[in-house]
Chain A
Amino acid sequence: AQRVTQPEKLLSVFKGAPVELKCNYSYSGSPELFWYVQYSRQRLQLLLRHISRESIKGFTADLNKGETSFHLKKPFAQEEDSAMYYCALSGGAQKLVFGQGTRLTINP
């Protein structure tokens, strides 16, 4: 079974501080992992995917198969990063399983 766990429902940091949103997964095969973001009054949208190894809006995420984790990181938080973040896993079928989400608030 595919499962994604985001242990923090809420995360609050100050502007300029580092941010780390945690994501752990459970899957027996070779997973594909994604981070989605939902800004206020906007649609849910893809932020980044692990196979691209890209940095989007200063965010990066590294897949750690040993720890079954895919944490999202940004060295210096900005106020516009305040949003709901979802980690998601695709295990080979035509579907995506999401975690519970973390609401990130950046304080000025």
Chain B
Amino acid sequence: NAGVTQTPKFQVLKTGQSMTLQCAQDMNHNSMYWYRQDPGMGLRLIYYSASEGTTDKGEVPNGYNVSRLNKREFSLRLESAAPSQTSVYFCASKPPGTSGTGELFFGEGSRLTVL
């Protein structure tokens, strides 16, 4: 039982390059999330998916796209990376429950540097 798995763990990009961060969970959770963590800013929600087939914007969606490929997988794509997207990215999932409740399970994070 791996929980939430993110790949890659580290990535260096040049400005303008594209890349996709992959996330998979094996806990049969419905909801999945992408956050970015920046010093002094805490965790900020980029996008989330309440269920397979649906995605919604979070606090900082600009410059990102997401795909909920199936119930297990939720990917985050940077089409044209910018230095401001240098951050640590976390994927998380949440088990089903009453609206708004529940514990988030996090991946180990992906450290992205954009030069």
Q: Do A and B bind each other?
A: yes
* Count, A-B residue pairs, CB within 8 A: 56
Contacts of A91 in B (CB 8 A): 100
Q: How far is the CB of B25 from chain A (nearest CB, A)?
A: 13
Q: How many A residues face the partner with a CB closer than 8 A?
A: 24
Name the CB-closest residue of A to B97: A94
Name the CB-closest residue of A to B104: A96
B residues adjacent to A (C-beta < 8 A): 31, 33, 35, 40-45, 48, 50, 56, 58-59, 90, 92, 94, 99-101, 103-104, 106-109
Contacts of B99 in A (CB 8 A): 92-94
A residues adjacent to B (C-beta < 8 A): 6, 9, 32, 34, 36, 43-46, 49, 51, 86, 90-101
B108 close to A43 (CB less than 8 A): yes
Q: Give complex CA distance A90, B92 in Å.
A: 15
The one of A43, A97, A100 in contact with B40, judged by C-beta atoms closer than 8 angstroms, is A100
A94 close to B100 (CB less than 8 A): yes
Q: A32-B100, A46-B103 are in contact. Are A95 and B33 (CB under 8 A)?
A: yes
List 8 extra interface pairs beyond A43-B106, A95-B48, A101-B43, CB under 8 A.
A34-B103, A43-B108, A44-B92, A49-B103, A86-B42, A92-B99, A93-B100, A96-B33
Q: How far is the CB of B80 from chain A (nearest CB, A)?
A: 26
A51 close to B101 (CB less than 8 A): yes
Name the CB-closest residue of B to A41: B108
User: Would you list the 7 A-B pairs with minimal beta carbon distance, nearest first?
Assistant: A100-B42, A98-B43, A94-B50, A90-B100, A44-B106, A92-B100, A46-B103
